[in-house]
């Protein structure tokens, strides 16, 4: 009987269970370099079969939030090497999520105060960045209006991802995940309501998928497709992603392209837990029938619902996000049917040091405090 705690072969990488720690922005790297707290945070959670890191921007241009650890300088690579070494020392596996936010950024973060970039010069509704105000104070603010990328610039961004992928492998990551979800740059190109470009990257489904697929192919050529995963959020509505006529066809077409590429996995981000629209009936079946490789999904799973999804054969691995924040030993807590703690939302993000980051106790530590 398939269950969460069985080992899994991920394209030759042996995972000790089918539980994935989902990528979660925590914004604790004050100077964009992983620090001692970053090392501790990830090593505490190495009981997951696979950890997917928080989004690591591939360039300054790709940043939308202060205090995110990147993968575009040697200092960042050295910082991440300490993280991966610590995770591996605990028997864990870890992929780096490679990230470009596109238009979900602010001029205060961009080099020289330049405008963020996107497929179109159109701002996203309800798109927020974490930048600096006129007094230099860090704060959440509406994303700045973007400019449209020129056709020849798209290849430059693909190369930023290739360099970041190589840097990730040099930093000791077991692989990389291309962040194509949640209203960021790749989804901005995929979305037929937003992308009205007249060049080879706009219009038809084939053209709108081209940027993501070219980037996946370039990364795969650099580090091998078995080390490359991708995250997408079909029917996601974050940051102004609107519905469009051929939406279901677009995502099924993308599934077919993933099937051709023999990737390590495809990771579905189900945004129902953060207010997105529900996928239409039959879509999940059509996607799964088209893409038959390793499939991960995240989106409010419990142990019980995760076990049912594995039993049904709908998914191969189950990603948990928020439960990992307050439960560094989440895998063991679920295995032993122990209580799952809730995280303090006020400390999810930002430069608050170890509070709400590395100070959550394991079950054994909780018991020790109770008996002290």
Domains, the chain, in order of start with CATH, read 8-371 (3.20.20.70)
Angle 25-94-209 (CA atoms, 0-180°, nearest 5)? 70
Q: Would the CA dihedral through 357, 346, 56, 287 be positive or negative?
A: positive
| Axis-axis angle for helices 36-44, 74-89 (nearest 10) | 30
Q: Which residue stretches of the chain have pLDDT < 70?
A: 1-2, 271-279, 351-352, 368, 370-372
Active site residues per annotation = 184
350 φ/ψ angles, rounded to the nearest 5 degrees: 100, 170
- DSSP 8-class letter at 285: H
d(CA 247, CA 252): 9
- pLDDT for 370 equals 67
Q: Which residues contact 293 (CB under 8 A, 6 or more apart)?
A: 258, 259, 262, 263, 265, 266
Contact assessment for residue 162 and residue 83, using Cβ atoms and an 8 Å cutoff:
no
Find the distance separating the first CA and the last CA of the chain, reported in whole Å.
41
The predicted-structure confidence for 131-159, as pLDDT tens digits, reads as follows 999 999 999 999 999 999 999 999 999 99
What Rg do the C-alpha atoms of the chain give, in angstroms? 20
Residue with tokens 């677009």, as numbered in its chain: 250
H helix count then E strand count, the chain: 11, 14
For residue 140, what is the enclosing H or E element? strand 138-142
Q: What DSSP element (H or E) covers 179?
A: strand 175-179
Q: What is the DSSP letter of 65?
A: B
Question: Residues near 132 by Cβ (< 8 Å), separated by ≥ 6?
Answer: 66, 108, 109, 138, 139
* pLDDT for res 300: 86
- Quick one: pLDDT at residue 367? 78
- Burial (0-12, 13-18, 19+ Cβ within 10 Å), 253: middle
Contact 193, 243 (CB under 8 A): yes
pLDDT tens per residue across span 49-78? 999 999 999 999 999 999 999 999 999 999
Distances (CA, A) of 325 to 238, 271, 292, 316, 368: 22, 18, 31, 23, 20
Q: What is the pLDDT of residue 338?
A: 95
């Amino acid at each position: 009987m398939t269950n969460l705690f069985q080992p899994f072969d991920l394209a030759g990488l042996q995972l000790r269970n089918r539980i994935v720690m989902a990528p979660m922005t925590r914004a604790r790297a004050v100077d964009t370099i992983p620090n001692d707290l970053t090392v501790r945070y990830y090593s505490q959670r190495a009981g997951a079969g696979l950890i997917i890191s928080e989004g690591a921007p591939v360039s300054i241009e790709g940043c939308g939030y202060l205090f995110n650890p990147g993968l575009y300088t040697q200092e960042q690579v050295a910082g991440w090497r300490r993280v991966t070494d610590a995770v591996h020392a605990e028997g864990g596996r870890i992929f780096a999520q490679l990230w470009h936010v596109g238009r979900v950024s602010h001029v205060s973060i961009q080099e020289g105060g330049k405008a963020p970039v996107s497929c179109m010069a159109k701002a996203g509704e309800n798109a927020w960045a974490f930048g600096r105000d006129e007094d230099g104070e860090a704060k959440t603010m509406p994303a700045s209006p973007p400019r449209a990328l020129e056709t020849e610039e798209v290849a430059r961004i693909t190369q930023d991802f290739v360099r970041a992928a190589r840097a990730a492998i040099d930093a000791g990551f077991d692989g990389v995940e291309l962040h194509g979800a949640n209203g960021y740059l790749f989804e901005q190109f995929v979305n037929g309501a937003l992308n009205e470009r007249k060049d080879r990257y706009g219009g038809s489904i084939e053209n709108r998928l081209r940027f993501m697929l070219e980037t996946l192919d370039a990364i795969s050529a650099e580090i091998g497709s078995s080390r490359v995963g991708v995250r997408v959020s079909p029917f996601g509505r974050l940051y102004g992603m609107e519905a469009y006529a051929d939406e279901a066809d677009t995502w099924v077409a993308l599934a077919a392209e993933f099937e051709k590429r023999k990737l390590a996995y495809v990771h579905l981000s189900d945004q129902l837990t953060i207010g997105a629209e529900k996928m239409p009936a039959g879509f999940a079946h059509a996607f799964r029938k088209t893409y038959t490789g390793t499939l991960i999904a995240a989106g409010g799973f419990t142990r019980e619902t995760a076990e049912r999804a594995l039993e049904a054969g709908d998914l191969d691995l189950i990603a948990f996000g928020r439960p990992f924040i307050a439960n560094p030993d989440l895998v063991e807590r679920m295995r032993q049917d122990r209580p799952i703690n809730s995280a303090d939302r006020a400390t999810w993000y930002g430069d608050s040091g170890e509070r709400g980051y590395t100070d959550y106790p394991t079950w054994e530590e909780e018991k020790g405090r109770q008996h002290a």
